[in-house]
Amino acid sequence: MTELTCIGCPLGCRLTVDEENDYAVTGNSCKKGAEYGKNELKNPTRVLTTTVNAEGGIHGRCPVRTEAPIPKAMLFDAMKVLSEVTVKAPVKCGETVLEDILGTGVNVIATRDL
Ligand code: SF4
């Protein structure tokens, strides 16, 4: 059994996940918590939010995020890849700045106009 706190909403339900019973989750107040508890032990993922270099605008950095969660184990390598990325203004919020990061099938998008 593993205990963890659900991050699905501000309620922060205390979850218990039973690895020996097909990752059955208890303590959740909704379906989202059951899904989170199971995924967190089997394949934890996170949306990566960071900034990349920017040229030609008034800001030297452009805030970006992955369009969807990526495996938690890949976050460090994804940060390394993004440290090499430079965008050129103008950039629109929602525009893809990097496709298919680390072969995950997930694009990285800008989160503001530049
Ligand atoms: S289980 Fe549901 S209600 Fe509880 S913290 Fe997670 S998302 Fe919120």
pLDDT surpassing 90 at residue 57: no
| Atom of ligand 1 at shortest range from CA of 36 | 6
Instruction: Classify the phi-psi angles of 8: left when phi > 0, otherwise alpha if psi is within -120 to 50, otherwise beta.
Output: alpha
**Paired tokens of 26:** 């208890």
Q: What is the pLDDT of residues 59-114, one digit of tens each?
A: 999 999 999 999 999 999 999 999 999 999 999 999 999 999 999 999 999 999 99
pTM of the model: 0.80
Map residue 74 onto helix, strand or coil: helix
HSE value, Cβ hemisphere, 13 Å, CA-based, for 64: 27
Closest-CA residue, ligand 1 atom 8, reads 9
Residue 90 is given by DSSP the state: -
Atom from ligand 1 closest to the CA of residue 8: 7
- Ligand 1 close to Cβ of residue 32 (< 6 A): yes
What would be the CATH architecture of the domain defined by 49-110? Answer: Roll (3.10)
Q: How far is the CA of 35 from the centre of ligand 1 (A)?
A: 10
pLDDT at residue number 29: 98
How much distance in Å is there from the Cα of 15 to the middle of ligand 1? 9
- Is 31 touching ligand 1 by the criterion CB < 6 Å? no
* Dihedral in degrees, nearest 10, Cα atoms 26, 29, 30, 34: -20
pLDDT exceeds cutoff 90 at 2: yes
Domain coordinates of the chain in residue numbers?
A: 2-42, 49-110
